Amino acid sequence: METTGLVSASDSFTTAYFEGQDTLVTVAMRGTIREPINLLNLQIYGLHCYRSVEVPLYLALQLFETQQATISMPEWLKLDRTRAYISNEMESPGLQELQPHFFEVSRRLLIVFREHPDEHASADLSGGATLLAIEFNINHLFDIRRQKLRDIIDAAIGNRRAPNLTNATKFELIGLDAYKQFSDSFSEIHQLSLYDSAGTA
């Protein structure tokens, strides 16, 4: 299987990354913010020192960068979970369901976690080694799913019918050249965007 990792989808990253900014993550506050925080679709009534709270990723990054909070690693990104994703993906003929912005959000969070790798040490791995293993698993998962998508699209082209894109993420689809070509042809024939069908197929 060809392996290029997430870099191969760099053209889609900017768009998908911004769409993933509303993903909720847990932060542990290092200080107190008493004033209400007004966000686009949420109002937070104060953040208190030593307490953990779920906030959108864009706020979590701001709090982290200003040293007002640390970001906790989500359960869905931990090493054991990423190993399970790979196992499940290899055993299933279809695509398994992932967190909606799994690849772009995990990529951004790993950048954050590398600033303090020792916080992510496990019983048998250092923090740095744990983060490297997580990154390797995410890239491997991406490659497995990309090959599945290519196979699904090849079959759809042969059958001249819409592919079943259930559980495919927009990040994956935008970065797939074969999908782009098929999507253009499909749209011309059916006046329908396959991006819309990805969540409903």
**Beta strand residue intervals within the chain, DSSP E:** 24-29, 37-38, 43-44, 52-56, 69-71
In 3D space, the residue among 135, 132, 167 whose CA is nearest the CA of residue 152 turns out to be 167
User: 148, 178 in Cβ contact below 8 A?
Assistant: no
Q: Is the pLDDT of residue 201 over 60?
A: no
The neighbour count for residue 71, using CB atoms within 10 Å, is: 19
Q: Is the pLDDT of residue 142 over 50?
A: yes
pLDDT tens per residue across span 80-105:
999 999 999 999 988 999 998 999 99
CATH class of the structural domain 22-72: alpha beta
Q: Give the residues across from 69 on adjacent strands.
A: 29
Percent of the chain with pLDDT strictly greater than 70: 76
Q: What are phi and psi of 14, to 5 degrees?
A: -60, -50
3-class state of residue 149 by DSSP: helix
Residues of the chain with CATH 1.20.58.1020: 73-197
Question: To 5 degrees, how large is the angle CA 67–CA 6–CA 112?
Answer: 10
In 3D space, the residue among 65, 170, 55, 174 whose CA is nearest the CA of residue 111 turns out to be 65
* Higher pLDDT pick, 150 / 187: 150
Q: Is the pLDDT of residue 156 over 60?
A: yes
Q: What is the CATH number of domain 73-197?
A: 1.20.58.1020
Q: Which residue reads 């819409």 in tokens?
A: 162
pLDDT tens per residue across span 57-78:
999 999 999 999 999 999 999 9
> What are the start-end ranges of the H helices in 92-126?
102-113
Q: Is the pLDDT of residue 179 over 80?
A: no
Residues of the chain with CATH 3.40.5.50: 22-72
What is the total residue count of the chain?
Answer: 201
Q: Is the pLDDT of residue 189 over 80?
A: no
Helix (H) or strand (E) holding 194: helix 194-197
- Six token digits for residue 34: 């008493």
Give me the mean pLDDT over the 126-139 stretch. 97
* Higher pLDDT pick, 188 / 127: 127
**For residue 18, what pLDDT band results from cuts at 50, 70 and 90?**
low
For residue 20, what is the DSSP state? G
